[in-house]
Amino acid sequence: MYKHLMTVSAVGLVLALGAGGAMAAPDWGKVPGKKITVFYPGVSAMEWVTKGGEHSGSKGLKKGETCAGCHDEEAADIGKKIVTGEKLEPKPPKGKAGSIPVTVQAAYDKENLYLRFTWKQPAGGGEKLDKDNQVKLAVMFAGDKLPMGDQAGCWQSCHQDARTMPNAADDKKLKYVAGANLAGGVFYDLIQWTSKGAKHDGYVADKRVMEGGKALVDAKGEKKGDTWTVTFTRKLTGGEGDVALAEGKTVPLGFAIHDDYAGGRFHHVSFGYSLGLGTKADIGAVKQ
């Protein structure tokens, strides 16, 4: 009887330790942060990004250059010009910040990737398009066959015929990827946290799907004083629509913050950056 209880207790301890090890939060104090400025993009759809004559960087993209490689240090200036209506915004939003500096940290273990985003709440006061959520944060990982996925961040999902864009023919048309193919790696893996408390795990292919993913374990966020902190826990592998991650691998990543109750295209976005698990990348995930 005593021996049986000891065995049960030992098994329980092993299971508890195993579960705790898999879900234990990283020691963020030992994880370096990458400063990334998200900016207001206006109506700079993929069609504009790749169009010569209007976007001087289109030539560089054709040569294999990245958006971040050219504009990383200019993100705040770009956001200011767009949010004020100087360019690429026919309806300048009142009170919206042109850019938001964000600290991004990444860690991983044998089962999960952990992402942490920290930023100070900028001044607001614009129209509340999403009254239920003061903030939403979405992360997209590019599938390995997505054209320009490693160059343009999330832009392959942003098109001029999508809803809330000027002269859009269909006010219900969501973000999408041209020539999408889930099985063929032509898609974005999408995870999102909202301040209302919702967490979403989906993808962007021929349309945006917010549910059905198998990789997201948890998404949490809080505001302390004027500082937001949002943390994602994601399995390294999932199912359909989930980009597989592994030690030694890099994957293109972009993220967006819907600040000040923003909806639709009225968000702040990052350029595209590489995420590396235990390997050199723009954002290096530290093994813990």
Q: Does residue 15 sit within a domain?
A: no
Q: What is the CATH number of the domain that holds 156?
A: 2.60.40.1190
Count of CB atoms situated within 10 Å of the CB of 51: 11
Taking only the tens place, the pLDDT of each residue in 140-163 is: 999 999 999 999 999 999 999 999
The C-alpha torsion from 281 through 283 and 107 to 229, rounded to 10°, is: -170
Residue-wise burial string across 224-256, b where 16 or more C-beta atoms lie within 10 A, e elsewhere:
eeeebebbbbbbbebeebbbbbeeebbbbbbbb
| 231-274 residue pLDDT tens | 999 999 999 999 999 999 999 999 999 999 999 999 999 999 99
- Alpha-carbon Rg for the chain in angstroms: 20
Say what the pTM is. Answer: 0.90
For residue 7, tell me if it sits in a domain.
Answer: no
Strand partners, 204: 188, 208
Is 159 part of any domain? yes
What's the total number of domains in the chain? 1
Structural domain contains residue 22: no
Give the mean pLDDT of the chain: 91
d(CA 259, CA 277): 29
Could you tell me which of 57, 104, 43 has the C-alpha nearest to residue 228?
104
Looking from the CA of 61 toward its CB, the CA atoms found within 13 Å total 24
Provide the pLDDT for residue 134.
96
Q: Is residue 24 part of a domain?
A: no
162 inside domain: yes
| Residue 217 pLDDT grade (very low, low, confident, very high; cuts 50, 70, 90) | very high
